[in-house]
Amino acid sequence: MKILLDGKEIYEISEVQLNIFKSEIDSKDLSAYLEKIITNTIKDNVTIVFNRLKKEWIVKLKEAGVKNIPLDDMEFAQLIFNQDSYDSKDLKIEI
């Protein structure tokens, strides 16, 4: 089973690995189970990175005189990205 991202293979699950999963999960539920693992992993990592971003930028926004900081996480992130002082970084993560 191959895992693709934007049409590029990023990981291939071997038959042995699939059989390990199948020792606990019915074959008919395996794809849904793997999709859930991948989705939850991405969501968890977005939350981790967002929390670091938020911690860094709350002070910067106050210092910049921003009076209205949204409570919604995505609106807050967009507020950060709209700041002239925001500079996107290439983040290299070793796992």
Q: pLDDT value at position 88?
A: 78
Q: Is the pTM of this model over 0.85?
A: no
Query: How do residues 19-46 score in pLDDT, each as one tens digit?
Result: 999 999 998 999 999 999 999 999 999 9
Mean pLDDT of the chain: 91
Alpha-carbon gap, residue 28 to 8, rounded angstroms: 25
Residue 92: the pLDDT is 45
Share of the chain above pLDDT 70, in %: 93
Q: Are 39 and 58 in contact (CB under 8 A)?
A: no
Place of tokens 């796992």: 95
